[in-house]
A = this chain, B = another copy of it.
Amino acid sequence: MSERVLVQQLKSLPAGPVSVSGWVETVRDQKKVQFVVLRDETGAVQLVNPATRPSEDAGEQDATALALTETIGALANGTFLTVHGELKHDERVKLGGVEIRIGELEIAAAANPETPIAADSGLDKRMDWRFLDLRQRRNNLIFRVQTTLEHAMRTYWVERDYIEIHSPKLMASPSESNAELFEVPYFEDKTAYLAQSPQFFKQMAQVAGFGKIFEIAPAFRADPSFTSRHATEFTSVDAEISWIDSHEDVARMQEELLQTAIQAVKDKHGDEIQELFGVDVQVPSLPFPRIPLAEARDIVAARGYEIPRTDGDLDPEGERQIAAHVGETYGHQFVFITDYHPEIRAFYHMRDPETGLTKSYDLLFNGVEITTGAQREHRVDVLVEQAKEKGLDPEHLDFYLDFFRFGAPPHGGFGMGLARVLMLLLGESSIREVTYLFRGPTRLAP
């Protein structure tokens, strides 16, 4: 293992013997010379072999050279192999200014030459063969960006003494509402439910005195929709903090977190994102603009769009209109929409006693909602009232309500869809493109 050199290291190595491992991206089998483009997780390099073809006269030939030429000629794209050869620096070689003259070639596993997809195959076809689709540079970059984004977020939290929790995904009762709930037959004829969010359990950490927590984990929604931003399983980025005065404290943490994480992505991958996605990553300035929902509706109306929803919330086009307004007015890609009416919010959102509106926000990124954040109601009598008002039976919520019966701090937090952030950061059109293996109503495999 120790001998292997990564493609990105080649440039800085002296000419001489070298070993690289990767998969075949293309083979150009010319009469006198053969070229192979070999890709690994860090880049691509040109391999070259002066072809030795069987001669028609009876002259003696180098059997090894003949065999190597035949092997290379028969290489299928996608074959994984290791090459030992001679590194040469040559500015004329477009691919990185180096090439490797093949000495020896070891095939790890040959590919079936009938590749089922091409780079321009449709999304659904590519998802059928996701493990091949992911070999594309663009797709590889998506997950390196994801890694950097997440690590920057976790580092932000860890440096500020947040505790990481792993809350259970199997629950005895629904976490929020009965809609969109996956049931799991459990032991002793019981039924378990898959957590739709870690909501209740991250609040539990607050009454447990953890102070500040985060979790990045799967969440499940039996959501029959086929939009570009919904999935039946998604990665949820969650944080919850105690002793806040309002949702503003949550918003301030989240905007700083996002600024830090996007800065890390720009620093590490900015050039590559520009090259492969044509996107110039913008590090958002602080604070993000804030617009109360009522005002947002007025702005949308003034722009000539009439929101068809009657519940007072924005619809997707309304969100795009607000994003356009924010872009024009503040030059910003993010906006917090605040002051939602309780009717369109969860029962546990705290309400402002003066306005009657919830102490909550949605965060839009390039016109798409990526987060709901809120201060939670921690006074159990108020919480019970609000649940009843929503038609919920407090008895079914008893395990949750218990959390607040033995003391609780004021607290709040947010949940954020990781794939949505990635999609918007890279200017992609669907979360399916930025999810390792998407799950939807008709998509359970591979």
State the A residues within 8 Å of B (CB): 1, 4, 21-24, 39-42, 76, 78-80, 82, 108-112, 115-116, 130-132, 134-135, 140, 143-144, 146-148, 150-151, 154-155, 158, 161-173, 182-188, 190, 192, 194, 201, 204-205, 207-212, 217-218, 220, 222, 224, 232-233, 235, 242-245, 249, 378-380, 399, 402-410, 418, 435-437, 439, 441-442, 444-446
Min CB distance A41 to B, Å, is 3
Whether the Cβ atoms of B405 and A192 lie closer than 8 Å is: no
Of the residues B185, B209, B380, contact of A40 by C-beta under 8 Å: B209
Of the residues B131, B187, B404, B409, contact of A208 by C-beta under 8 Å: B131
Beyond known contacts A166-B436, A170-B233, A217-B217: 8 more, CB 8 A cutoff: A143-B210, A146-B164, A167-B437, A182-B185, A184-B194, A187-B441, A204-B437, A403-B446
* A403: B residues at CB distance < 8 A: 131, 446
* A22: B residues at CB distance < 8 A: 209
Question: With the chains together, A185 CA to B156 CA distance in Å?
Answer: 39
Question: With the chains together, A183 CA to B186 CA distance in Å?
Answer: 9
Question: With the chains together, A135 CA to B136 CA distance in Å?
Answer: 49
Which residue of chain B lies nearest to A164 when distances are taken between CB atoms in the complex?
B147
Whether the Cβ atoms of B210 and A406 lie closer than 8 Å is: no
Which residue of chain B lies nearest to A79 when distances are taken between CB atoms in the complex?
B407
Min CB distance A3 to B, Å, is 10
Of the residues B134, B154, B187, B435, contact of A209 by C-beta under 8 Å: B134
* A192: B residues at CB distance < 8 A: 182, 444
16 pairs across A/B with beta carbons < 8 Å? A1-B249, A4-B243, A40-B211, A76-B407, A108-B410, A112-B406, A134-B208, A150-B164, A154-B154, A170-B232, A172-B445, A173-B445, A183-B184, A187-B442, A204-B446, A217-B217
Question: With the chains together, A164 CA to B1 CA distance in Å?
Answer: 22
Min CB distance A410 to B, Å, is 5
Whether the Cβ atoms of A407 and B78 lie closer than 8 Å is: yes
Whether the Cβ atoms of B409 and A168 lie closer than 8 Å is: no
How many chain copies?
2
Min CB distance A28 to B, Å, is 18
Of the residues B184, B190, B218, contact of A182 by C-beta under 8 Å: B184
Question: With the chains together, A335 CA to B236 CA distance in Å?
Answer: 36
Of the residues B186, B235, B437, contact of A201 by C-beta under 8 Å: B437
Min CB distance A416 to B, Å, is 14
Min CB distance A366 to B, Å, is 22
* A436: B residues at CB distance < 8 A: 165-168, 201, 205
Min CB distance A386 to B, Å, is 15
Whether the Cβ atoms of A444 and B409 lie closer than 8 Å is: no
Which residue of chain B lies nearest to A142 when distances are taken between CB atoms in the complex?
B163
Question: With the chains together, A171 CA to B108 CA distance in Å?
Answer: 28
Whether the Cβ atoms of B437 and A218 lie closer than 8 Å is: no
Min CB distance A108 to B, Å, is 5
Whether the Cβ atoms of A204 and B131 lie closer than 8 Å is: yes
Of the residues B80, B116, B405, B409, contact of A80 by C-beta under 8 Å: B409
* A1: B residues at CB distance < 8 A: 243-245, 249
Whether the Cβ atoms of A21 and B444 lie closer than 8 Å is: no
Which residue of chain B lies nearest to A436 when distances are taken between CB atoms in the complex?
B165
* A243: B residues at CB distance < 8 A: 1, 4, 21, 82
Whether the Cβ atoms of A41 and B210 lie closer than 8 Å is: yes
Q: Decide yes or no: A170 and B444 within 8 Å by CB, A131-B204, A131-B207, A135-B209 being known contacts.
A: yes
Question: With the chains together, A441 CA to B170 CA distance in Å?
Answer: 11
Min CB distance A189 to B, Å, is 12
* A446: B residues at CB distance < 8 A: 172, 204, 399, 402-403
Question: With the chains together, A61 CA to B194 CA distance in Å?
Answer: 59
Whether the Cβ atoms of B163 and A144 lie closer than 8 Å is: yes
Whether the Cβ atoms of B168 and A233 lie closer than 8 Å is: yes
Q: Decide yes or no: A151 and B158 within 8 Å by CB, A109-B404, A378-B108, A445-B399 being known contacts.
A: yes
Ranked nearest first, the 10 interchain pairs of A and B with the lowest CB-CB distance are A41-B211, A111-B407, A134-B208, A78-B407, A172-B444, A172-B445, A109-B408, A187-B441, A147-B164, A80-B409
